[in-house]
A and B are shown apart, each in its own frame.
Chain A
Amino acid sequence: MTDPISSAGATAFSGLYAQSLRMKIIAENIANAESTGKTPGADPYRRKMVSFQDTYDEVKDANTITADMSGLDKTPFRTEHLPGHPAADKDGNVKMPNVNMTVEMTDMKQALRSYEANLQVIRQGRDMASSLVDLLKG
């Protein structure tokens, strides 16, 4: 039998890790917000999406979270009229990534909030465990 506070910690730590992966994907999306193709009519960078799943960790006896980073945003690309661009088609239009900065910024804020919440769970669990062990003293 594992300690429930320790299990709670394991869950919260998996939450921290999942949010870090989410940050990684957001960073990739923001960095590639203007990444186009190289040849005429080529597809630009497609926005990546993170989805979270709940998984059972047998060692820790806790339900943890894993992040799946393989998802791609299927919304259509926006186009810009840039006739001199290497990726411009015969009409001079260039397909631009389907990354929306506002969405990315909101996502980042959400990742930060979730990260802080998980940190708070860890802090609280530590306080509970250490005050329990303190009973042995004195």
Chain B
Amino acid sequence: MIDALRAIGSVATPGASPVQGGSMVKDIGDFAKQLANTIQQGENAGIAGVQGTMPVQQVVQQVLEAERAVTTLVSVRDKAVSGLLELTRMQV
């Protein structure tokens, strides 16, 4: 679970070392990387929109996809964090 959190964290902080772990961790990491790519495209589209070099429809499309990527990523992270908290509350 902590590895899973780290996988998301490594995408959020550029230059961080890739995470070693099981397949679930790798899946979450890949998923997060794909989302980070979408967010980057959204940012680029925003800049192109301001410069007027891209049709507004495309700008809106890319930015909406980026927004969706962010909300999905945050929800997945929240789920992982709540799982971790659940573990810390375990009776010993």
Interface residues in chain A, defined as those with a beta carbon under 8 Å from any beta carbon in chain B: 6, 9-10, 13, 16-17, 20, 122, 126, 129-130, 133-134, 136-137
B71 CB–A CB distance under 8 Å: yes
Interface residues in chain B, defined as those with a beta carbon under 8 Å from any beta carbon in chain A: 55, 57-58, 60-61, 64-65, 68, 71-72, 75-76, 78-79
Contact, CB under 8 Å: B76 / A136 = yes
A16 to B57, CA, bound (A): 7
Residues in chain B near residue A20, CB distance under 8 A: 55, 57
Tally of A-B Cβ pairs under 8 angstroms: 32
Residues in chain B near residue A122, CB distance under 8 A: 64
A18 to B41, CA, bound (A): 22
Smallest CB-CB separation from A122: which chain B residue?
A: B64
A20 to B60, CA, bound (A): 14
Interface residues of A, dominant DSSP: helix
6 A-B pairs with CB atoms under 8 Å apart are A6-B65, A17-B58, A20-B57, A130-B68, A130-B71, A133-B72
Contact, CB under 8 Å: A17 / B68 = no
Contact, CB under 8 Å: A126 / B64 = yes
* Shortest beta-carbon distance from B85 to chain A in Å: 14
Contact, CB under 8 Å: A129 / B68 = yes
Contact, CB under 8 Å: B76 / A13 = no
A17 to B79, CA, bound (A): 37
Residues in chain B near residue A17, CB distance under 8 A: 55, 57-58
Residues in chain B near residue A129, CB distance under 8 A: 68
